[in-house]
Chain A
Amino acid sequence: MIRFEDVTFAYEKGKPVLSAVSFEIGKGETVGLIGANGAGKSTVMKLLLGLAGPGAGAGSGSGAGNTKNTGSGRILVEGIEVLPKNLPQIRRKLGFVLQNSDNQMFMPTVFEDMMFGLLNYGMSRMEAERRVDEVLQDLGQEKLKYLYNHKISGGEKRMAAVATVLAMDPEVLLMDEPTSALDPYNRRIIIRTIGALKQTKIITSHDLDMIYDTCGRVILLSDGKIAADGPAEDILMDKKLLEANRMELPLRFATCV
């Protein structure tokens, strides 16, 4: 479904952020993308979404049009290469939940935010509204529908952000730190929600317990290279491997001192 073929990328010439990264993610897989700060996790997401790198056309957001960007290799989503001309087609398949929900929710109410993407993709108002209701019902968050984005709590905002993306029925869900800044109760709700979603999921996070709970496979990035790629259990319980890449065991496996 998603394929990175020998992808090398640098925001500035001579300072590669990703070096010869290759992996393939199959349909329905849930993959955790982990690594220390600066390992290249966000860049993988941006490249996939066409927000940076060869896929980014003019006016594509984050870093687009930055002539210093250099890269090689190919990124494919269901056989379609991430290139400026293919972006509308590719982005229709991908849903991205940003780390900061405040930056994702730009309309006054949750309802309007959820409608935004649907109307952009040409859905009729009636159909779009039905879809909004359906998604909120599936998530058990009907109460959020007419609430103002600035008046809801952090946890509710994160749920609303997930809802806005799910409303568009993406085939792949990309989530950047979905549990950051959430209290334990809301974190648990998000984990349960992620677990119940049927889509292919790529999750980047430093919350390794959450990754363990939600992902079947983990890709460990270190200095722009893949340090390990395999079953979550194998990687997340390998203390040596994690520590060699500036990571630590998930709290549940850490021995109390």
Chain B
Amino acid sequence: MNQNIERSIHDLREMDALASGDSMVHRVSAGAKLLVTVVYIGTVVSFAKLNMTGLLFMVLYPVLLFTVSGIPISTCFYKLRFVLPLVLFVGVFNPFFDRTPAFAIGSFTVTTGMISMVTLMMKGVFCLMASFLLMATTRIEALCGALRKIHMPQMLVTLLLLTFRYAAVMAEEVNVMTQAYSLRAPGQKGIHYTAWGSFLGQLLLRSMDRADELYSSMLLRGYHGEFYYAETKKRSSGDTLYAAIWCAAFLAARCVNLTQVLGMTVVR
């Protein structure tokens, strides 16, 4: 159990390490990346449920970003391992409800239900990959700084930042408590249900104490409700170009079935 918690803490910190990289993608301003990600997700979601070939073109964005940023795609799938099954589950019943034949491959009839299922899965996976890439190539502080610049409510942004930061603190407290428990309960797997109440109560009290001290530390260094971000880059023309090129590409992919066009060109 402790190994799992330690792995979770490590995972959280690994995101920070990934975001501190120094690739071309990392150097793009958080605002530009945020805009591109939002437009990307919006475009992906807007594809019709049977437009699988059109949607296929959208895979280029995450693939290119993974390549340029040097972040292994396996890291993405590993970190999203708990969410991916849920996303894949979304369209799993479509083939049963929609049995209209679309085309046949030999004796096997492909139904529109099957196509819409795959399209839905692709949409989910693409959106998750884009969100992961945003987080993995942008420091949370820079991202929150960008959110504040687009006038996202301060309360929400601070909440996002502190949740991200303190998730590890909370996990550390759980780790210490479970370690103390398991040392006095040898051979026992997990925490016995009779101890759940006091365990959670203690965790809450300890977390509150720690949060209180952290908050005091913030107050004593002039915190008054607005978080100032140490690293916020000014937007450059390169950032504008980055955002413009990607947004134009997404728009083109949405209006024209680029996969089909490419396919036809190759066939000819």
List residues of A whose CB falls within 8 A of some B CB: 49, 51, 60-62, 88, 91-92, 94-96, 98, 100, 103-104, 106-108, 111-112, 115-117, 119-121, 125, 148, 150, 164-165, 168
Q: Shortest beta-carbon distance, A4 to chain B, in Å?
A: 19
**How distant is the Cα of A95 from the Cα of B169 in the complex, in angstroms?**
24
Interface status of B213 (Cβ within 8 A of chain A): yes
Identity of the chain A residue whose Cβ is nearest the Cβ of B221 in the assembled complex: A117
Chain B facing A: main interface SS: helix
CB distance from B207 to the nearest CB of A (A): 12
- Asked whether, in the complex, the Cβ of A61 is within 8 Å of the Cβ of B221, the reply is no
Which candidate, B186-194, B223-231, B254-262, is the interface stretch facing chain A? B223-231
Contact A61 B216 (CB under 8 A): yes
- B228 near A60 with CB under 8 A, answer no
A96 to B215, CA, bound (A): 13
Pick the residue among A51, A96, A106 that contacts B165 (CB under 8 A). Answer: A106
Say how far A157's CB is from chain B's closest CB, in angstroms.
Answer: 13
Among A61, A92, A115, the one with the most B-chain Cβ atoms within 10 Å of its Cβ is: A61
Q: B218 near A: Cβ within 8 Å? A: yes
Q: A96-B220, A116-B221 are known contacts. Are A61 and B212 too (CB-CB below 8 A)? A: yes
Interface centre among A92, A103, A104 (most CB of B within 10 A): A103
- Whether, in the assembled complex, B153 has its beta carbon less than 8 Å from a beta carbon of chain A, the answer is no
**Cross-chain contact B220 with A115 (CB below 8 angstroms):** no
Q: Once the chains are docked, how many angstroms separate the CA of A120 from the CA of B217?
A: 13
Q: Flag if B210 contacts A103 (CB, 8 Å).
A: yes
Q: How many residues of B contact A (CB 8 A)?
A: 24
What total of A-B pairs shows CB separation below 8 Å? 75
Bound Cα distance A88, B13 (Å): 33
* Closest chain B CB from A22 CB (angstroms): 25
- Complex: how many Å from CA A133 to CA B250? 44
Evaluate whether A148 and B230 lie within 8 angstroms (CB atoms) in the complex, with A61-B212, A61-B216, A94-B220 already known: no
Contacts A92-B222, A103-B210, A148-B16 given; indicate if A116 touches B216 (C-beta within 8 A).
Answer: no
Q: Given known contacts A103-B210, A120-B228, is B13 in contact with A49 (CB within 8 Å)?
A: no
A60 pairs with B219, CB closer than 8 A: yes
**With a CB–CB cut-off of 8 A, which chain B residues contact A165?**
221
Enumerate chain A residues within 8 angstroms of B218, measured Cβ to Cβ.
Answer: 106, 116
Chain B residues in 8 Å Cβ range of A100: 213
CA distance A103 to B208 in the complex (A): 12
**Chain B 34-84 interface residues, beta-carbon cutoff 8 Å to A:** none
Report yes or no: B221 in contact with A120, Cβ–Cβ below 8 A.
yes
B228 touches A108 (CB 8 A): no
Closest to B165 in A: A106
